[in-house]
Structure 1
Amino acid sequence: MSVLTYRLQSMDSPEFALPRRSAAMTTRFRLKLLSSCVGAAVVQAAAPALADSAVGVDTMLGNALNPTTINQLERLDPEGLDARINTRTPTGQLYAWDPLPREQQTSSSGWLYSGSIEAGGTVVSGDDDSGWFRMYKDLDTGLYLNNLEFQAHQPESALFVEGVGGALGYDDQYYGLKFGRYNDWYGKLFYQETPHTFTSQYRSLWTDTNDDYLKLRNLMPGGYPAVPDDPATPEDESVSAQDVTSSAIIADIEATDFSDLGIIRRKGGISLEKYLTDNLKLLASYSLEHRDGSRPFGARWGGGGGSGNIEIPEPIDYDTHDIVAVLRYDDGVNNANLTVTGSLFRNNHDTLTFENPIAYTGGLLSSYPTGTFDLYPDNDYWNVKGEYARSMPDFYDGRFTALASFSWMKQDDDLIPWTQYDLAGTNVDGVDATNMWNTTDALVRDSADAEIDTMLFDVGLSLHPTDKLGLNGKIRYYETDNKTDFLACNPLTGQWGRLVNDGSNAATESGIVTAGVSEYLAAGCDLAAARALGTLPQTGNVKLRTVPFDYSQWNYVLGGDYRLTPSQTLNLKLEREEIDRNHRERDTWENSAKLTYVNRGFDFGTLRLSADYGQRRGDSYVTDPYEEYVSASLGPLPTADGFNVRSWIHTLNEMRKFDLADRNHLNLNGRLNLIVSDPLDIGLTLNYKDDEYPNSDFGRKDHHWTGTGTMDVNYQPSEKLNLYGFYTYQQSHIEQANVASVPTCAIGGAVTADNFEEVCGSVGTAGTTLYPTGNIWGVEGEEHNNVFGLGGSYDLGVTLLSLDYSFIKGVYDTDLSSNGPINPEDIFPNYEYTQHILDLSAFFPISKTLGIRALYRYEMGKIDDWHYDGVEENPNPSASQYYLDSGLDDYDNSTVGLFVHVNF
């Protein structure tokens, strides 16, 4: 992943600002749209430590001013670890200087304790209301408790307690408390908040953005009549309801100030661990995360691309309960873990109803005053995992490992009707629709009943036949079983398919309609009975049921490492992966090899090189394996001359999906750590990744490559001075191609009943296929990223100074090519992103326990995103299209802080 993409995407994860990554993940799909809806969360226990096993998530707390929990300027210990003895890691890099030990106080009960608090005030100037500036932090002018920390222990009892906190009362505040008895038991409490502002340039037309019923502030639901009841408005019959409504909406948008859409994550939890015996330990954790606020959400009316689009706010009111329990055994020879993990997601908003200001008249009704969404459902995830390892010193110093894991993901949300409207006096494909779609009786069942189960088995063996040679092997099997099945059929009418967008359009299959009654009614939504009728469907692309995607995967790994000299090692790993996919285009297998060379014997530093190459291939590629899930499977194929078979062709025959296509993968890595002098390190890193798709003409094609180069410098001449710097340049390239289809491919002439699937679905000439060569288009994307940083600290005696500066600049260039009349150069300008962050800090010690700290933080961000070009000036670019969010805005901010620092 590119540097720019990583920065833009990863910051949205719940564990942003935490140096340790959480493995929590939730996957949700909307069943109402014929997708399974299942939630998943995986929380894994980390390796044990003396007082903190880091079970669960949030093992590190902090915010923008305290990215490593506590941001303090401390004097370094001149006789610490780096006093020119064993000052480097095995890879040749300098260890950091230790801070000067703090003097501890002793209580009357024998507790040794120390701590500090830093409080004062901040002044923020510039574009402090920018959503980009406030995306993951909360900085305002006012009193500010920057941080506090304390630690205490009692040597006689081995009891200890530690606490940290910061930003009291702000939306990015955090607190943590550790307590327990060393080598016996341990507990941890934490609480933290993280704001996420999605946009500060949203103009809301509703009175409240956080409610599950969005009420229009000034406008009329469903739009205005052609001649409004306003004596000042001339009764011009040429004025349409859409024109009047559009004028009213634009006037309301222009009169509305920008506002924020964002959420706050509030998360707290507790974790405990206890040695039951010398060999047996129990670990447990529980956390609750509450997310509250709103974010931009899309609404549209009609089918296809829709013609009544507007951005509404989606209310967020989520609770996620994460539970982990681990029983761990270790006797020096045998190691075993039994872990139970649970993640329970609860959405406190079941549905979202919004009053619709648009005068949409293209559907079954003349007006749609409100629309309703079925929001993400409550869902549960449970996992049970057993791990075992045994050391075998008498058998080539071997080690055997085994793992078994079973997961269950379920949700059974109550479903809502296809529409809230009675559709009186209307029909769908000739079948009377009055009160036939606005009830749960129009569904094959009332609730989702969605479930996906997984299982994983893994066994491995490592041996050391000689002192120089090590061998290892592993076999891994993973399987998903998708038990979710939902039929899109209305038992009241016998029609297969569904209404879309609250009944403003239909994607249904009624068969040959006689006297207004569907031939499928007698089948009673029995798919086999409907197919037995032998009725030619009207269309071939109506979705009948969910596709239960699942797969099984085998991985076989064989590796070995050989010590060429005491300081040189060579490692080789061979791997075979086989994936058997159900309901996908093909099964695949991939063979790969990775070679690694490490040399720690140079006087000037260390060298690490690696190269891996893999080839993915598979069986015959079936372009459309989904026919049994669409209406084409209800009856015979069309044969009549002149019949338009467009809806029977669901994708281009030459299309290859990138996760299934033949692929050649190359990855080259190099890292050189240079010891320039005793206090100076320089590191050089190069990486090149290339994914070639040798047999793909459409979809992702040719080469997708990424090249990255990094240089980092670390200079520590003494405990007084510490400097660092780094620079990374990354460039990536990607190519894709496709063909725009035409509306018709009819049987007749070169297109026959026997060959239309091949002829119409393949790239050819206009008039005989859906995909004429004149409609081929391609896109090449090129991304350039520059990341630069420098910083350090300097102890002048009377003051301690620190500097941290980072700079990011990303440019994404899109080049289009087309065989048609489009001029691609006029479509997509470059996407550009630039950000500067500068932190300056000075600490003036007054005494051993008192000091003054001054802080200056400067941030600047600039973004050119063509997606939002012109939105603020013209929020209504075409009929019934309204854009209320103008995207991220540039910002330029300064924060000045003055704090009193007290040690105790």
Structure 2
Amino acid sequence: MCTRKRSRTCRWSLLSLALLGGLAQAQDSGAGIDLQFGNWLDPSGRIGWDGCDPDGASWLSAEPKRTPTGFLYGCAPHMPAEKPLGDNGWTYSGNVGLGYLHVSGDEANTHWRRFRDPDDGLILQANFSLKRAADGSYADVRLSRLERDNQYYRAVFGQAGRYKVQAFVRSTPNVLSGNARSIWDGVGSAHLTLKHGLTAAGSTPAQVAALSAAQPFTTLSVVRDKQGVSINYLLNPRWTGYASLTHEERKGTRPFGGPFFFNYPFPANGGIYEIPRPIDDSTMNVTGGFRFVGNVWRSDFNYTGSFFRNAHSAYDYQVPYGLYSVAGASTPALYSGSFAYEPENDYHRLGVTVSRKLPAWNGDFSLAMALTTMRQNDRLQAPMDCQGQFGQNLAPPFIFDCANWNTTDALSRKRADLAINNQKLDARLVLLPSDKLTWRSTGRYLREDYAGTYWAYNPLTGQYGYIAENGAQGSVVPGEMGVWDAGANASVLTRIRNLPLDKETHELSSGVDYRLDNRNTLSATYTFTRIERAHREVATTRDSMIKLGWNNRTLDWLTLRANYTYLDRSGSRYYYDPYAFTFSSSLPGFTGEDALSPHTVSALRKYDIASRTQQKLDLMATFILPRDMTVYASFRGDRNHYDAQIGRQRLDTYASSLQWEWQPNPATTTSAWIGHDRSTLDVANVNDATGTDPSLGGVTYPDANRWWMSDTQRNHYAGLNLTRRIGRATLDLAWNWTYSKGRTRYRMASPDALTVPANAAQASGGYPLMVYRVNSLTAGLSVPLNERMRLRFFDTWERGNLSDWHYFGFEDTLVYDHRVYTDGGPSSYKVNQVGMLFEVAL
């Protein structure tokens, strides 16, 4: 399997027949027109389906060629012979394959099915190509149908040097749970109702547990269906126009947290629900522009648009458990929870790039400018979904009328009306003062402006804030409904407005590449980045980065490359609470200042903006051995140290790998690899007590409440590939092994560091080991029956041992008091997948 730093020789290997485990084809709904097509059966998109060309990459010699750094190029794919089609100069080639796939073992396992979801049934593969040499016209159609949710169809036609048109349709599955048990009916819809036998806000944990255990396993998955068309048209030798349009739909369900307030500190109260969240949305992407290429000037004028839409504005789910007030007051029943979907949004970008060759020093100067706007103007949802009253029948009025909150009239406005507007300017200058020296300089400016202010204000009641968790939180704890007013609720702290995060980036970089001689090249680059942020803990950060490089080819059989990077981040004074203006404490009439708990401990340093130093080292060696062999060795180290008493303190990553590949002739390619990487993450924190002092070591955050966590990850991987032509047949073999271990350890200054100090006796200092170990064996055999027909056989055996302590006990029950889970979590598996494909050349 060609993954990570795997062998390049298997690029066109017939192992694509062999159901490559774990090779997921990533999709990006914002990437415009798709360029790569394939699936787990054929990652190459049928380009390398027929193996290597016996003549190699050149008619002059079948000897494999190497890159400038010493790697062997992948073998040239074999192209079928073309046949004449009529008397008008057209030729054609192609084939059609029909086969059957059978899966046995733990075929419902989530990890096995993740991005492939194979099943027993027929499979179809085909490609057809037309060419006319006289005018360069061509057409190409490729398709692969493994099942309804895993298929692609692609057609390309055009005329060389004139135009090219592409159209495609593809479907890709993403299985998120293969062992889910749902207590709701209507899975996949926007309204989840409790199954028969359960009563909304009136069921017991025993009833819910029994019904959950009685449910059969079900699959939660999301399928992406994407269609697209693109065109490139050469208007004249200097101007080209291009455009593309894609549309992607996502449909299905995935596990999602549906909170209904805490359950851990309040037994038989609150509710933590993992619900099957319905997914039904679409994204339309549009790209177009014109490109000019001249002898001196080059330019590109382009537009990109992306439009995201939801089929539903919100979804709701009935809850099985009732709530009670910790103060003993009567509480109206709440029967359901609800969530609004991500807001619909529109994205527009206008870009211009202009570059010019400079007569002095063989220079080149380019300037890129872009204006971007991202707008959200979706219709907003009502703050509540209830009838009657909600809250607690307790003074000062903690009871609320649903009629004042279950309507959009309770909003300060009916639509979001928010936007982010960006302005970007990039400049680049490259000069070659001599044959040995290259000077590179770049400048970058980016401004991100948040436009619009939304106030969480209810004009029907004159109150600020939002209803937390559909009223559940305030129904349990008095005063925590999330509503502020100048009267009885004047001391309530709640969020009242959106948080604008304006940002401005200035970056300058300059570097040189100097060739000492024909075998040694040195490089050095300095980059300074200044980022000014609004409403963040650090108003201005300053990054200084130095990168040094050395390439050496003193020996004909060895290429050495080394890179070292040092980064130092500093900035303005760190302020732990820049968000006060978004809370009710900023309103006139707020009366709780003297009793406010700190937003957080003042010693906390958020790792994305706090001071840190980083050192990165990359060492790479390529050995060119006799008999067309290559050995590649690499080491990579990345050390990040943060200036933080509380927060992330260290993140170190080290990786090494060794790879061997051999191409003695086009009939044989083989490779092997082994690698190891490790990472360590250290975090420090402190449990809060009561008080108003934000300083570490004070009353609110005493040193006795401090704790430390260290997370270590160790990954090992190895593999072997072999492709061998035996007579007219071709044999493919592969073995892949991955073994990952993760361990989380912790220590504490005293039992008070725990949320429940009484549990300190049970604290062992670490969590159980997390294990991910997958072994995969693959075999494929291609046997020609005659000049036009071929049989392909393939078999994949895979075994996975997975252990995640987060899911311990889920094999017994998914219900713990008022905590209801749906996904059973990862589990070990053993699967065998066999198939046969009969192909006929057209």
TM-score (norm. length: structure 1): 0.84
2:293 maps to 1:316:
no
Counterpart amino acid of residue 187 in structure 2? T
Distance in 2 (alpha carbons) for counterparts of 1:469 and 1:371: 66
2:567 maps to 1:614:
yes
CA contact (8 A) 1:222 1:360 kept: no
Which one of the candidate residues 507, 514, 524 is aligned to 1:572? 524
- Spell out, residue by residue over 1:640-671, the C-alpha distance to the aligned partner (whole angstroms, 9 max, x if none): xxx972x3410101000001111111110011
After superposition, where does 1:383-462 map in structure 2 within 5 Å? 383-392=349-358, 394-424=359-389, 426=393, 429-430=396-397, 433-434=400-401, 435-462=403-430
Distance in 2 (alpha carbons) for counterparts of 1:573 and 1:327: 33
- Aligned CA distance change for structure 1 residues 370 and 431 (closer, same or farther; 3 Å): closer
- Quote the residue 1:112 is aligned against: 91
Which one of the candidate residues 785, 800, 813 is aligned to 2:715? 785
Distance in 2 (alpha carbons) for counterparts of 1:466 and 1:649: 61
Report SS of the residue matched to 1:501: helix
- Quote the residue 1:845 is aligned against: 784
- Quote the residue 2:7 is aligned against: none
Shift in Å at residue 198 of structure 1?
Answer: 0.4
Distance in 2 (alpha carbons) for counterparts of 1:86 and 1:142: 39
CA contact (8 A) 2:33 2:229 kept: no
- Quote the residue 1:11 is aligned against: none
2:309 maps to 1:361:
no
Distance in 2 (alpha carbons) for counterparts of 1:18 and 1:325: 29
Shift in Å at residue 901 of structure 1?
Answer: 2.1
| Larger displacement relative to structure 2 (406-415 or 214-223) | 214-223
Counterpart amino acid of residue 187 in structure 1? V
Shift in Å at residue 379 of structure 1?
Answer: 1.1
Shift in Å at residue 357 of structure 1?
Answer: 1.6
- Aligned CA distance change for structure 1 residues 18 and 468 (closer, same or farther; 3 Å): farther
- Aligned CA distance change for structure 1 residues 221 and 448 (closer, same or farther; 3 Å): farther
Shift in Å at residue 824 of structure 1?
Answer: 4.0
Distance in 2 (alpha carbons) for counterparts of 1:796 and 1:864: 42
CA contact (8 A) 2:56 2:62 kept: no
- Spell out, residue by residue over 1:540-575, the C-alpha distance to the aligned partner (whole angstroms, 9 max, x if none): x42121110121000000111111112321111100
Report SS of the residue matched to 1:503: helix
- Spell out, residue by residue over 1:124-152, the C-alpha distance to the aligned partner (whole angstroms, 9 max, x if none): 1111122222111132222222x211222
Counterpart amino acid of residue 712 in structure 1? Q
Number of residue pairs aligned between Structure 1 and Structure 2: 794
Shift in Å at residue 861 of structure 1?
Answer: 2.0
CA contact (8 A) 2:122 2:146 kept: no
CA contact (8 A) 1:297 1:314 kept: yes
Distance in 1 (alpha carbons) for counterparts of 2:55 and 2:155: 31
- Quote the residue 1:861 is aligned against: 800
Which ranges of structure 2 fall in alignment gaps of 5 or more residues? 5-21, 475-479, 752-759
CA contact (8 A) 2:520 2:550 kept: yes
Shift in Å at residue 827 of structure 1?
Answer: 5.5
| Larger displacement relative to structure 2 (126-135 or 554-563) | 126-135
CA contact (8 A) 1:205 1:218 kept: no
- Aligned CA distance change for structure 1 residues 254 and 861 (closer, same or farther; 3 Å): same
- Quote the residue 1:655 is aligned against: 604
After superposition, where does 1:496-895 map in structure 2 within 5 Å? 496-504=464-472, 505=474, 506-508=480-482, 510=484, 513=487, 537-539=490-492, 541-586=493-538, 587-635=540-588, 645=595, 647-693=596-642, 695-701=643-649, 703-742=650-689, 744-745=690-691, 760-764=693-697, 769-821=699-751, 822=760, 824-825=763-764, 828-877=767-816, 879-895=817-833
TM-score (norm. length: structure 2): 0.90
Which one of the candidate residues 455, 479, 482 is aligned to 2:447? 479
Report SS of the residue matched to 2:764: helix
After superposition, where does 1:15-54 map in structure 2 within 5 Å? 24=28, 41=30, 43=31
CA contact (8 A) 1:817 1:824 kept: no
Which one of the candidate residues 143, 155, 179 is aligned to 2:122? 143
Distance in 2 (alpha carbons) for counterparts of 1:429 and 1:798: 88
- Aligned CA distance change for structure 1 residues 113 and 315 (closer, same or farther; 3 Å): same
Shift in Å at residue 356 of structure 1?
Answer: 1.8
Counterpart amino acid of residue 256 in structure 1? Q
Distance in 1 (alpha carbons) for counterparts of 2:408 and 2:57: 72
Deviation above 6 Å: which 4+ runs of structure 1? 16-19, 303-306, 636-639
Report SS of the residue matched to 1:738: strand
Shift in Å at residue 889 of structure 1?
Answer: 2.5
Which one of the candidate residues 204, 212, 215 is aligned to 2:182? 204
- Aligned CA distance change for structure 1 residues 507 and 577 (closer, same or farther; 3 Å): farther
Distance in 2 (alpha carbons) for counterparts of 1:826 and 1:129: 36
Which ranges of structure 1 fall in alignment gaps of 5 or more residues? 5-15, 26-40, 44-55, 225-243, 519-536, 746-755
Report SS of the residue matched to 1:763: coil
Counterpart amino acid of residue 114 in structure 1? S
Shift in Å at residue 635 of structure 1?
Answer: 4.8
Distance in 2 (alpha carbons) for counterparts of 1:442 and 1:275: 56
Shift in Å at residue 492 of structure 1?
Answer: 2.5
Shift in Å at residue 717 of structure 1?
Answer: 1.1
CA contact (8 A) 1:296 1:311 kept: yes
Shift in Å at residue 207 of structure 1?
Answer: 2.1
CA contact (8 A) 1:404 1:457 kept: yes
Shift in Å at residue 507 of structure 1?
Answer: 4.2
Distance in 1 (alpha carbons) for counterparts of 2:422 and 2:56: 54
Distance in 1 (alpha carbons) for counterparts of 2:105 and 2:395: 57
Percent identity reads 27
2:37 maps to 1:98:
no
Counterpart amino acid of residue 482 in structure 2? T
Distance in 2 (alpha carbons) for counterparts of 1:430 and 1:124: 62
Shift in Å at residue 798 of structure 1?
Answer: 4.2
| Larger displacement relative to structure 2 (549-558 or 598-607) | 598-607
- Quote the residue 2:312 is aligned against: 349
CA contact (8 A) 2:464 2:485 kept: no
Report SS of the residue matched to 1:247: helix
Distance in 2 (alpha carbons) for counterparts of 1:79 and 1:121: 32
Counterpart amino acid of residue 49 in structure 2? Q
